[in-house]
Amino acid sequence: MTQTLTGENLRAAKAKKVAVVGAGVAGSTIALRLAELGIDTTLIEKGPSLVNGPPFCHLHAGGNLYREISDQQCLTLLQQSIDTTKVYAQSINVRPTVLAVPTSDPSEPLDLLPRLEKLRAQYQVLVDQDASNEVLGKPADYFRLYNRAEIEAIGQRPLPEQAQCDEDWLVAFAKQVNLNTLKFPLVVVQEYGLSAFRWAAIANLAIERLPSCHVQTLTSVVDISPSAATGNGWQITTKPASYNSAASTDQDVQVTEYDYVVNACGFKSGELDDMIDAKRQRMVEFKASFVTHWPECQGLWPEVVFHGQRGTPQGMAQLTPYPGGYFQLHGMTQAITLFEDGLVTSCEQSAQPRLAPHFIKKIDNQWPDHLVKERTVSNIAHIAQFIPDFKSANTASQPLFGAQQIPGEDPDLRAADVSFDQQGYARAEIVKASSALATADAILKDLLDTGVITSEQAQHYLNEHYFPVTTQCNHDEITELAEQLARDRNYPEALARNFS
Ligand SMILES: Cc1cc2nc3c(=O)[nH]c(=O)nc-3n(C[C@H](O)[C@H](O)[C@H](O)COP(=O)(O)OP(=O)(O)OC[C@H]3O[C@@H](n4cnc5c(N)ncnc54)[C@H](O)[C@@H]3O)c2cc1C
């Protein structure tokens, strides 16, 4: 049975104050991790709600979408995805991913095999260590290869209404994909989907229930400086972040002392670094995915990845299914998901990479309609190369898009978590949502190592994900709030539902 915190431990943990700036996936997970242990945490977010940054749809339990990254990054993402699934179970969309290599691609499907075998072996090790790690099915079934005859035979079956077994996810695929466009065998891997709206709902619900977490939304951090009063810790200056910020007056400015600051500002992390003259090399990349509805959609769809070389006209095409015939699409070409000059780097004078103003306008929700249509139509055509009937899909909403940070100098880095700078200052630097928990773990350890907190209880839970409040959020309340958030943000409610 899970141990509960005693009043005494709670008071001890509460003695010091932690500020987490930015309530995206990283910041809200860090705030949850600390507040679940009774640590006094203030989460400061300039937007109106939590987890409303760039989108995510794929858990990356093995990183198999990225042929170009190292095996070690894939193994790290596998472990982090398993941990994430255990804490945010209700945000997981359980369905497999088909990895298909098009005939136009120079590589062969079996090139993927050595990595898949490494991942399967590591998954087995993790399950042997702790049976609760078995969240992606049996390790032996982590991936399977299908030759063309097997796929054609599956295509003869009637369309199932619900998936009773993995092959049920392949019937619609087998019937509607032009198999002549693909090399065989196909790989089917237990990489699941991840719902951004459901994660947002869980974070909003759980944080509201944790007395140690104080949330300040619509609040911008405009300055940080070392604390003059104590010589330790930080002074944070905030202002209301009303969208009409010119209306705020000096009286609206708040200055508060904290013992520890976490910079979880996503692609704006460099702005906080600059406030305290902390040097950091990072990149920022603007990308978009497109939301479509396919009225003639038949049957259940898995996630499908048609591999291709990033940045070329044949860049990877990714089809992510949601209930009701809705699909989120990516096309890793300059005309679809990627953008000319969309990748920028920091410089010696500033840790904040500067995106061109037209990207910032889009982030502030000013996508010109013609561009939404143009790129969505291109993405539909990119997918229809392989699924001809998909050409009847249409634009369902504005894109899901945003800018993400990539620490360091390698634009292919996908598994990153945290860096520490001056005493009492940590930066969350995740590239994938599933790395948020590892970031929170490292920050908890730093708080203990540096003596900011001395709680025995926190020490005890250093190696255990203690999320009693978060994991108690139930399916129906999560769905209700996730649908509400989807409506508020002008996306179809279907994106907030899962397949269960
Ligand atoms: C098109 C696209 C598709 C993606 N797909 C996936 C995927 O399938 N799977 C996956 O794992 N990842 C995916 N990602 C990456 C993922 O979205 C990001 O890595 C993740 O959202 C980063 O989370 P974060 O919390 O670090 O930053 P953010 O979500 O950007 O959060 C930072 C927060 O800080 C706030 N903030 C900034 N400055 C201040 C300030 N001065 N004061 C107060 N608040 C401030 C912002 O308002 C924001 O809410 C995708 C990214 C894109 C662009």
Q: Best mutation site among 20, 21, 25 for ligand 1, i.e. most ligand atoms within 8 A of its Cβ?
A: 25
Q: In CATH, what number does 7-53+198-281+410-496 get?
A: 3.50.50.60
Name the pTM for this structure. 0.95
Report which ligand 1 atom has the smallest distance to the Cα of 265.
34
Q: In CATH, what number does 94-191+284-403 get?
A: 3.30.9.10
- 7-53+198-281+410-496 and 94-191+284-403 have identical folds: no
HEC per residue, the chain: CCCCCCHHHHHHHHCCEEEEECCCHHHHHHHHHHHHCCCEEEEECCCCCCCCCCCCCECCCCCCCCCCCCHHHHHHHHHHHHHHHHHCHHHEECCCEEEEEECCCCCCHHHHHHHHHHHHHHHHHHHHHCHHHCCCCCHHHCEEEECHHHHHHHCCCCCCCCCCCHHHHHHHHHHHCCHHHEEEEEEEECCCEECHHHHHHHHHHHHHHCCCEEEECCEEEEEEEECCCCCCCEEEEEEECCCCHHHCCHHHCEEEEECEEEECCHHHHHHHHHHCCCCCCEEEEEEEEEEEECCCCCCCCCEEEECCCCCCCCCCEEEEEEHHHEEEEEECCCCCCCCCCCEEECECCECCCCCCHHHHHHHCCCCCHHHHHHHHHHHHHHHHCCCHHHHHCEECCCCEEEEEEEECCCCCCCCCCEEECCCCEEEECCCCHHHHHHHHHHHHHHHHHCCCCCCHHHHHHHHCCCCCCHHHCCHHHHHHHHHHHHHHCCCCHHHHCCCC
Distance from residue 381's CA to the centre of ligand 1 (Å): 28
Domain boundary assignment for the chain = 7-53+198-281+410-496, 94-191+284-403
Task: Give me the tens of pLDDT residue by residue for the chain, a chain 500 residues long.
Answer: 344 444 444 444 447 999 999 999 999 999 999 999 999 999 999 999 999 999 999 999 999 999 999 999 999 999 999 999 999 999 999 999 999 999 999 999 999 999 999 999 999 999 999 999 999 999 999 999 999 999 999 999 999 999 999 999 999 999 999 999 999 999 999 999 999 999 999 999 999 999 999 999 999 999 999 998 777 899 999 999 975 555 567 778 999 999 999 999 999 999 999 999 999 999 999 999 999 999 999 999 999 999 999 999 999 999 999 999 999 999 999 999 999 999 999 999 999 999 999 999 999 877 899 999 999 999 999 999 999 999 999 999 999 999 999 999 999 999 999 999 989 999 999 999 999 999 999 999 999 999 999 888 788 999 999 999 999 999 999 999 999 999 999 999 999 999 86
Report which ligand 1 atom has the smallest distance to the Cα of 400.
1
Distance from residue 267's CA to the centre of ligand 1 (Å): 7
Distance from residue 255's CA to the centre of ligand 1 (Å): 26
Distance from residue 336's CA to the centre of ligand 1 (Å): 20
Report which ligand 1 atom has the smallest distance to the Cα of 22.
34
Distance from residue 174's CA to the centre of ligand 1 (Å): 35
Contact 490, 484 (CB under 8 A): no
Q: Whose CA is nearest to atom 6 of ligand 1?
A: 56
